[in-house]
């Protein structure tokens, strides 16, 4: 399993301690916070993932996640919540979350989901002949024209395309890279994100573009 510095944000003292202890036993370094203000004050560049309760005492965890993303934090965020409805999940993803675990949960599942998120989190990717770089520290694409911020989904979609320039990445693989397991993603949603990525590549002055392979997927050319 990939080890990381994990921030656990939970206002339930007992649950926070149990989660933190389990993560430390798995070899992770753990920092804890009891509310949204504490979470934002504790943010550090080396934090590799956040486990974030939605029902915090001082704020909605989705608002905290949105604030983190606005500050350029690009590491994965796993929501914990007693809210299990589809609408709640969708608003969590819209706020920049990467996965969602409803309470009560098994620690084994939490650890497995965290491991999956950490394995998916890309390192800095150099596009070589594509002429661009993905930087997870600032959650941006960097090209000759400068640095352009990406949303978490845009970042995850561009990573596999940049890792294999000129190679067609199938739609199903892009959906797996961009969204959590089980998320329902229609083709037009993927196409809309690709359109946004094209605009941001132009803003970054990238000497490459995203080309559609009709009915199959996309490639970076």
Contact 11, 61 (CB under 8 A): no
| Residue 127: band (very low, low, confident or very high) from pLDDT cuts 50, 70, 90 | low
What proportion of the chain, given as a percentage, has pLDDT over 90?
37
Tokens standing for residue 141 = 């694409």
Mean pLDDT within 98-114 = 91
Counts for the chain of helices (H) and strands (E), in that order:
8, 12
The torsion angles phi and psi of 179, rounded to 5 degrees, stand at: -130, 155
212 and 137 assigned to the same domain: yes
Give the range of the structural domain holding residue 14, as residue numbers without chain letter.
Answer: 5-120
Residues 6+ apart with CB under 8 A from 211: 218, 219, 220, 221
| Residue 125: band (very low, low, confident or very high) from pLDDT cuts 50, 70, 90 | very low
* Backbone CA torsion sign across 6, 7, 9, 12: positive
Terminal C-alpha separation, the chain: 34
Domain finish residue from 105, 120, 135: 120
Mean pLDDT within 154-169 = 83
Count the Cβ atoms, other than its own, within 10 Å of residue 117. 22
18 and 109 assigned to the same domain: yes
Examine the pLDDT at 86 and tell me if it is beyond 80.
Answer: no
Examine the pLDDT at 33 and tell me if it is beyond 70.
Answer: yes
Q: Which of 4, 14, 30, 1 minimizes the C-alpha distance to 108?
A: 1
Burial status of residue 86 (CB atoms within 10 A of its CB: 0-12, 13-18, 19 or more): exposed
153 and 110 assigned to the same domain: no
Structural domains of the chain, count? 2
Question: What CATH number is given to the structural domain containing 31?
Answer: 3.40.50.2300
Estimate the crossing angle of helix 171-178 against helix 152-163, to 10 degrees.
140
DSSP state of 128: G
Contact 177, 154 (CB under 8 A): no
The torsion angles phi and psi of 162, rounded to 5 degrees, stand at: -75, -30
Residues 6+ apart with CB under 8 A from 164: 220
Examine the pLDDT at 102 and tell me if it is beyond 50.
Answer: yes
Mean pLDDT within 63-73 = 81
Domain finish residue from 95, 120, 145: 120
Q: Does 84 or 165 have the greater pLDDT score?
A: 165
Examine the pLDDT at 124 and tell me if it is beyond 50.
Answer: no
Average pLDDT, the chain: 85
Q: How far apart are CA 23 and CA 88, in angstroms?
A: 26
130 and 113 assigned to the same domain: no
Instruction: Mean pLDDT check: name the lowest of 27-31, 149-153, 160-164.
Output: 160-164
Domain finish residue from 120, 150, 177: 120
> How long, in residues, is the chain?
221
30 and 105 assigned to the same domain: yes
């Amino acid at each position: 399993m990939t080890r990381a510095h994990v921030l656990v944000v939970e206002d339930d003292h007992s649950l926070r301690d149990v989660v933190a202890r389990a993560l430390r036993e798995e070899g992770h370094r753990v920092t804890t916070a009891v509310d949204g203000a504490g979470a934002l004050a504790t943010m550090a560049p080396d934090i590799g993932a956040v486990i974030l309760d939605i029902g915090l005492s001082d704020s909605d965890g989705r608002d905290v996640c949105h604030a983190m993303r606005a500050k350029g934090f690009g590491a994965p965020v796993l929501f914990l919540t007693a809210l299990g409805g589809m609408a709640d999940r969708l608003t969590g993803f819209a706020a920049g979350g990467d996965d969602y675990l409803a309470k009560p949960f098994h620690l084994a599942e939490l650890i497995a989901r965290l491991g999956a998120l950490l394995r998916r989190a890309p390192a800095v990717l150099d596009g070589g002949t594509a002429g661009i770089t993905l930087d997870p520290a600032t959650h941006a694409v960097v090209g000759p024209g400068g640095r352009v911020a990406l949303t978490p989904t845009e970042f995850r979609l561009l990573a596999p395309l940049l890792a294999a320039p000129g190679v067609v990445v199938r739609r199903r693989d892009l959906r797996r890279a961009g969204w959590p397991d089980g998320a329902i993603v229609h083709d037009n949603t993927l196409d809309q994100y690709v359109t946004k990525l094209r605009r941001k590549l132009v803003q970054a002055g990238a000497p490459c573009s995203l080309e559609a392979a009709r009915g199959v997927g996309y490639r970076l050319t």
